[in-house]
Chain A
Amino acid sequence: MHPELAFAIEVLIAGLLSGVMYSLVALGFVLIFKASGIFNFAQGAMVLFAALTFVRILEMGVNFWLAIAVALAVMIVLAVVIERVMLRPLIAQPVIILFMATIGLNYFLEGFAQAVWDADVHGLDLGIPDVPWMSLLDSTNILISLFDIWSAVICGVLVLVLAFFFQKGRIGRALRAVADDNQAAMSVGIPLHQIWAIVWAAAGLVALVAGALWGQRLGVQFSISLVALKALPVLILGGFNSIAGAILGGLIIGATEKLAEVYLGPIIGGGIESWSAYFIAMLFLIFRPQGLFGEKIIERV
């Protein structure tokens, strides 16, 4: 294959694969927004907290699967505590107050995670080698890391499981009812508090997986919580309340961001990845203010 074309495809695929990782973080936001209308700014801190918990338990010499189970249990406890302590007293407050509360939670969790564990950089090895896919490299000259492929597969499976969980069964129905209208759901006897705890726990699970995957790449450290900022453009592109939007948005953002970085970056000064994704999302929003799959905003006076 022509080397330049191969390079372009390589960039595109790498972008799509990192886009899957963005979707994963964005999914955490979407789950909570759907169920409670809260824009959870603390998602990044949850990623940090989950990854730190996981890696420190691993470092104590605990078995890999057991460590995952323990970290997951910690995230579930966290979800229950958040619901009890923070969300319950703030019920029926305007959304901006709840949003601010999650910013407070963000600070608290960042401090808490690093006070309980520590602020050093921890290497994390999930047992997936971060090496190029040799047979693809030989046949088509395209360099793609096996780790990227694996993480995309893991994310894909997780998304499918969550989508299934949220569409089918008793809990799925209850979740959709709560997403539709909190008060109506409560009045027909759906336990709102329980549902919120479940949703935050699911967001915790997503944070754990995202934290582990990003953690192997970047090392588990404070900067991992900034991954959440990467997911925000995905969120506005896909719509705050659409799981499909989070996935497709992640792919679009990932691909265009990488392409822009490689082909546009050198022309205008480089290092544009901090805002190019936002720019793409904004351009898109001008034409579709509610995002790709967001519900049409109907305003009544």
Chain B
Amino acid sequence: MLYRETGQFKTTYQRDMAIFPIRQDRWVLIAAVVFAVVGIPFIASQHVIAGYLIPFLIWVIAAIGLNILTGYTGQLSLGHGAFMAVGAYSAYNFASRIPELPIVLVFILAGLVAAIFGVLVGSPSLRIKGFYLAVATLAAQFFVEWVFATFPWFVGGAASMVIDTPKMDIFGYPITSTLDNYYLVLGFVVVMTLLGKNLVRSAIGRSWMAIRDMDVAAEVIGIRPLYAKLSAFAVSSFFGGVAGALYAFCYVKSVDFTAFDLFVSLKVLFMIIIGGMGSILGCFLGAAFIVMLPIILNELAHGIFSGQIPSALISNLEHMIFGGLIIFFLIVEPHGLARLWTTAKEKFRLWPFPH
């Protein structure tokens, strides 16, 4: 009864094209952002923010990136971890070699470097399609891992091949505490979510979806496949690069090349599949699911068996449950959690009189 659009008339074209046409959606969204800014610091402990919320927000950015490429443009990619790695390492190099650069600019530059790399990786996509392309993106994944494992220049000459991120500050205000990091990441998430949402509902987003649905047909109606595919790769890896940089600077603080391995690429892919392909909301749901799942499984394992079974078995069981749940989800709802949400919303609009 609360969720009703009755009486909300769209009297102008602007209002018809609004990002959230229903008033209740806007309220919920504003409430969520306000809660994330004001409420979270009061109710969540340092441990929860540093361990769960910051990675969750970072994965959201990464997932939006991959969703643009795979969910909206239909180009299957197994190399998202590589884009994140490029972002993280270039952010490190910008920040340590040119210390005068403001940190936000560093992250954006890192995203741009990742975008250039993404365009390079995506350039065969015009000729190579489907699974062939997926395997080609795997090549990028292994190549990047090798580069960062082999050449000390990228880690500033450290023999351990580990990068320790330098201290950050914004206009002289040092970012040190967990909460500072949280706000920095949150700011990026809000801006980049808006950016992503607006991109996919603009002309370029529609051309991506046309390419996804059938690229030959899209070409016939005047969409340039080169431009659409490469722009999708660029935007996607920009998001990935920023996420990687945030991951290195605000979450783990010290990374080596193993931090962005194939498993990371698959993890982001899981997020968008479970959350929902071609849905920005799905990125949030999927990221929350994938971040929470191991934690819940761990808690359950410790709660029920209270440390009686060896940890190796727990980790194996975790793998099994993880894999099993993914198959289960795909069977039950191949369109992801976002579809469940949409269905629920439709029900709510008519409740309690569905006829």
How many B residues face the partner with a CB closer than 8 A?
A: 50
Determine if A64 is an interface residue (Cβ-Cβ < 8 Å).
Answer: no
Is chain B's interface secondary structure helix, strand, loop, or mixed overall?
helix
Chain A hits for B217, CB < 8 A: 301
- CB of B132 within 8 A of CB of A236, answer yes
Can you offer 29 A-B residue contacts whose CB atoms are under 8 A? A94-B334, A95-B130, A96-B76, A97-B334, A99-B134, A100-B269, A104-B324, A104-B330, A105-B327, A108-B322, A110-B316, A110-B319, A111-B315, A111-B321, A115-B313, A115-B316, A115-B320, A229-B138, A233-B135, A235-B135, A240-B132, A279-B143, A281-B135, A282-B136, A286-B124, A286-B127, A291-B132, A299-B216, A301-B216
Chain A hits for B317, CB < 8 A: 111, 115
Q: Which residue from chain A places its CB closest to the CB of B76 in the assembled complex?
A: A96
Determine if A127 is an interface residue (Cβ-Cβ < 8 Å).
Answer: no
Chain A hits for B70, CB < 8 A: 96
Inter-chain CA distance A103–B327, complex, in Å, is 9
With contacts A97-B334, A278-B142 known, is A109 near B323, CB below 8 A? yes
Cβ-neighbour of B326 out of A89, A103, A118, A236 (below 8 A): A103
Chain A hits for B315, CB < 8 A: 111
How many A residues face the partner with a CB closer than 8 A?
A: 51
- CB of B316 within 8 A of CB of A119, answer yes
Stretch with Cβ within 8 A of A (4 or more), from B23-31, B107-115, B146-154, B178-186? B146-154
Shortest A98–chain B CB gap in Å is 8
Shortest A184–chain B CB gap in Å is 21
Cβ-neighbour of B139 out of A94, A235, A282 (below 8 A): A282
- CB of B124 within 8 A of CB of A105, answer no
Most buried by B among A95, A272, A285: A285
- CB of B146 within 8 A of CB of A271, answer yes
Determine if A263 is an interface residue (Cβ-Cβ < 8 Å).
Answer: no
Which residues in window 88-127 of B have CB below 8 A to A? Answer: 124, 127
Determine if A275 is an interface residue (Cβ-Cβ < 8 Å).
Answer: yes
Cβ-neighbour of A236 out of B136, B146, B216 (below 8 A): B136
Chain B hits for A90, CB < 8 A: 330-331, 334
- CB of B129 within 8 A of CB of A297, answer yes
Inter-chain CA distance A235–B76, complex, in Å, is 17
With contacts A107-B319, A271-B150, A274-B145 known, is A285 near B127, CB below 8 A? yes
Q: Which residue from chain A places its CB closest to the CB of B321 in the assembled complex?
A: A111
Determine if B351 is an interface residue (Cβ-Cβ < 8 Å).
Answer: no
The 7 residue pairs across chains A and B that have the minimum distance between CB atoms: A111-B319, A108-B323, A107-B323, A104-B326, A278-B139, A111-B320, A115-B316
Chain B hits for A107, CB < 8 A: 319-320, 322-323, 326
Q: Mark A249-267, 1 if CB is under 8 A from B, else 0.
A: 0000000000000000000
Inter-chain CA distance A86–B146, complex, in Å, is 35
Q: Which residue from chain B places its CB closest to the CB of A285 in the assembled complex?
A: B128
Task: List residues of chain A with CB under 8 Å of any chain B CB.
Answer: 39, 85-86, 89-90, 93-97, 99-101, 103-112, 114-115, 118-119, 229, 232-233, 235-236, 240, 269-272, 274-275, 278-279, 281-282, 285-286, 289-291, 297, 299, 301
Chain B hits for A93, CB < 8 A: 330, 334
Chain A hits for B320, CB < 8 A: 107-108, 111-112, 115
Determine if B20 is an interface residue (Cβ-Cβ < 8 Å).
Answer: no
- Besides A101-B331, A289-B132, 20 other A-B contacts (C-beta < 8 A): A94-B334, A97-B334, A99-B76, A100-B326, A104-B326, A107-B319, A108-B323, A110-B316, A111-B320, A111-B322, A112-B316, A229-B138, A232-B138, A269-B150, A272-B146, A274-B145, A282-B124, A285-B128, A285-B132, A289-B128
- CB of B76 within 8 A of CB of A269, answer no
Determine if B164 is an interface residue (Cβ-Cβ < 8 Å).
Answer: no
Inter-chain CA distance A62–B139, complex, in Å, is 42
Q: Mark B266-306, 1 if CB is under 8 A from A, else 0.
A: 10011001000100000000000000000000000000000
With contacts A96-B76, A108-B319 known, is A275 near B143, CB below 8 A? yes
- CB of A101 within 8 A of CB of B326, answer yes
Determine if B131 is an interface residue (Cβ-Cβ < 8 Å).
Answer: yes
Determine if B190 is an interface residue (Cβ-Cβ < 8 Å).
Answer: no
Shortest A234–chain B CB gap in Å is 10
Chain B hits for A297, CB < 8 A: 129
Determine if B318 is an interface residue (Cβ-Cβ < 8 Å).
Answer: yes
Determine if B220 is an interface residue (Cβ-Cβ < 8 Å).
Answer: yes
Chain B hits for A232, CB < 8 A: 135, 138
Shortest A211–chain B CB gap in Å is 18
Determine if B37 is an interface residue (Cβ-Cβ < 8 Å).
Answer: no
Determine if B226 is an interface residue (Cβ-Cβ < 8 Å).
Answer: no
Inter-chain CA distance A290–B145, complex, in Å, is 27
Shortest A32–chain B CB gap in Å is 12
Shortest B305–chain A CB gap in Å is 14
- CB of A97 within 8 A of CB of B330, answer yes
Most buried by A among B124, B262, B323: B323
Which residues in window 213-235 of B have CB below 8 A to A? Answer: 214-217, 220
Q: Which residue from chain B places its CB closest to the CB of A226 in the assembled complex?
A: B262
Chain A hits for B146, CB < 8 A: 271-272, 274-275
Chain A hits for B327, CB < 8 A: 85-86, 101, 104-105, 108
Shortest A10–chain B CB gap in Å is 26
Determine if B312 is an interface residue (Cβ-Cβ < 8 Å).
Answer: yes
Chain A hits for B220, CB < 8 A: 301
Shortest A193–chain B CB gap in Å is 16
